[in-house]
Every structure is written in C-alpha cells, then in structure tokens.
Amino acid sequence: MTQSLTIRRPDDFHLHLRDGAMLAGVLPETARHFARAIVMPNLVPPVVTGDQAEAYRDRILAALPPGMAFEPLMTLYLTEATDPDDVAAAAAAGLVRAVKLYPAGATTNSHAGVRDLTRVQAVLERMAEIGLPLCVHGEVTTPEVDIFDREAVFLDTVLDPMRRRVPGLRVVMEHLTTAEGVAYVRDGGPDLAATITTHHLILNRNHILVGGIRPHYYCLPVAKREHHRLALRAAATGDEPRFFLGTDSAPHPDHLKETACGCAGCFTATNTMAILAHVFEEESALDRLEGFTSLNGAAFYRLPPNPGTIRLVKAGPVRWPARIETGAGPVTVFDPGCAVHWHVEA
C-alpha cells in the first residue's frame, strides 16, 4: 500500500484570492503547496484592463510572506467594453494568461459581466488569433432555467454556438459540475479543456440540503446529483489531459456565508491536496494525481511544468483548523465530511 507520493509541485488553474486583508489571509494557504495559480478577476471593481491586472499582481506579490514562492497567473474580466488591443498587449507582455467570461449575474461579483456575446466578438477573435484561453463560467442566467440545469443548458445554447462563431478559440470550461459537461469537453477537440474543483469531487446536492442547510457547501455552479459527481470523479482520475485542477477556492468571511442570503463559494485552499490524494486513492488512481494537479493544466496553458516537487504522506487522520483567521474575518475551511489520512509534508 502506498504510504507516500512525490509529485511535481501543483498549480491551481482557478483561484479566488480577493484583495486587501482577505488576500493577505488566504494567499499563504495556496502558496504553501501551489507554485502558480490562475487568479480570478472578480474583484469589486473587477480587473478589466492590463494596467489593473498589473497592479493586482503587484498587490498579490506584496502580500506574499517572505520566504514563500508563488507566481500569480493573471486574468482579465471580460466586459462588453473590453479593448482587444489592451488584451493582446497584456498577453504579449506575459502578464495575462487568460480572459474570464462571466455571464452577467451568474455568480459573485458578476454584474459587470457579458450580457450579449456578440458584443465581444472582436475580443474573442483576437484571442483565437493569439492563442489566449477564455475561461468560462458556464451557466445561463435566464430566470426560467432551473439552477441545477444552468450548466447543461449553457453548453448547448451559449458555449457551442460561441465556439462555432470563433473557430480556434481556446476555451476552459471552469468548475465543471455535470456529466453533460464532462461529455462535451471529452469530445471537444484540442482547443477545449475543463477545470474540476476539489469540492465537486466530494459533494452532491444532498450534502448541501439534507439534515439542515449547509452554507459552507454552497458554491456556484451548485453541486448536482450523485451521478454527476461520479462522472466528475471519472474525468479527474481518468488520465485525460483535457481535465485538470482548478480549485475555485473562494473565501468569504463566515458572517457572509452563515446568513439569510449567504454568498456562494467553498474555501479549499488549505486542504485541497490532502483531499485530492484521498479521492485519487479511493479511485485507485494515485498514479494519476500528478497529471491532474501538476501536468495537464500547465500543458493546456502552454507553461512548463514546475521544477519542484511536493511529498504527500499517508499517516493518521489529519486535522485542519475549522477556520482560518483573516483580517477580513474568519473563513471556514472546507470539511470533506470523512477522515482524510493524507497530508502534504512540510
């Protein structure tokens, strides 16, 4: 039985770091294990221009504790006013690694997102030309569509038509939550990939709602039925280069989660690697963990794999703090709801 595992240092291809006191509180949780992360731009106000991305990158680097190494891979928040030249210049400078599409109203801080995709056609065409990936929050926001169906409907009515309108556009379907999404990405050709979160490998919708409502399990896209979770597990552990880790670790202070209208987001930065080792061991796929966390995403983003390694060790049940303290308030750490025996060796 494997008791330890050394893998290339992982990357997180979908991460919320926030800003200010929250940034300072959560950044070490990611930088402890991850070498790089695609940093989401949904600040208030959002990170829209190359200049804003540069300033945000500098704030992230300034918040990094001495002695820690971490490379933020910056993204721009796509709006209907985004300038294709600004995007291309920020990409050419190596500053920006992707552009993020939030359909307006889909999730936390997405009101400045895109309402009409035809208005960003010129930006998407330029991105296809230069090979810059579009990270997609893949949910429709029309009120008639049930929240559990929003991803599946998005694939047919938004994503597929968009990809046909912009041949060659490289797309990452973020935080995949459905079997339909897995199937679409699997058949999508070399320009399409998907991130999968840690918590969507653990949760189905019962975990959120049975026996009382669990605000710390509420995220968007919301966790779906069990068969979807199993499809995600098969995709993540199946040695398929098109699927890779994007934790979508999304910190909110507890008072904004545990309230009458709680924010969406699970905070998994602290224990993601331990939980993933647990999941991959359950699926008899520990030998595929490195591909999922450290190789597949880098390859899609055309980055070299990280030179360093981390060592995961299996020992007695591991305990994490229930919450981390940040200057913006306490943030509850994701509870996988089962004993986990793996930890990342310091």
Instruction: Out of 11, 19, 248, 287, pick the active-site residue.
Output: 248
Give the nearest distance from C-beta 62 to ligand NCD in angstroms. 21
Among Zn ion, ligand NCD, none, residue 219 binds (CB under 5-8 Å by kind): ligand NCD
Return the SS3 of 244.
Answer: strand
Length of the chain: 346
The residue ranges that bind ligand NCD (CB under 6 A) are 16, 42, 107-108, 137, 219-220, 248, 250, 264-265
Q: Name the residue nearer to Zn ion (CB basis): 24 or 219.
A: 219
- The two beta strands, 36-39 and 71-77, are parallel
Q: Name the residue nearer to ligand NCD (CB basis): 14 or 126.
A: 14
- Measured at the CA of 229, the angle between CA 300 and CA 140, to 5 degrees, comes to 70
Give the nearest distance from C-beta 174 to ligand NCD in angstroms. 7
248 catalytic? Reply is yes
The residue ranges that bind Zn ion (CB under 5 A) are 248
Q: Name the residue nearer to ligand NCD (CB basis): 24 or 43.
A: 43
Give the nearest distance from C-beta 250 to Zn ion in angstroms. 5
Give the nearest distance from C-beta 175 to ligand NCD in angstroms. 6
Going 27 to 29 to 31 to 35, the CA torsion angle's sign is negative
Give the nearest distance from C-beta 222 to ligand NCD in angstroms. 8
Q: Name the residue nearer to ligand NCD (CB basis): 218 or 301.
A: 218
Among left, alpha and beta (phi > 0; psi -120 to 50; other), residue 265 is left
Q: Name the residue nearer to ligand NCD (CB basis): 41 or 291.
A: 41
Give the other-Cβ count within 10 Å of 335's Cβ. 16
Asked if 232 and 176 touch (Cβ cutoff 8 Å), the reply is yes
- Measured at the CA of 38, the angle between CA 280 and CA 191, to 5 degrees, comes to 80
Q: Name the residue nearer to ligand NCD (CB basis): 91 or 263.
A: 263
Rounded to whole angstroms, the Cα distance separating 131 from 24 reads 32
| Rg of the chain (C-alpha set) | 19
Q: Give me the residue label for tokens 């949760």.
A: 203
Among ligand NCD, Zn ion, none, residue 108 binds (CB under 5-8 Å by kind): ligand NCD
Which contiguous run of DSSP H or E holds residue 134? strand 134-136
Give the nearest distance from C-beta 275 to ligand NCD in angstroms. 17
Closest CA to 244 of 193, 203, 278, 282: 193
Rounded to whole angstroms, the Cα distance separating 221 from 138 reads 8
Going 107 to 111 to 116 to 121, the CA torsion angle's sign is negative
Catalytic residues: 248
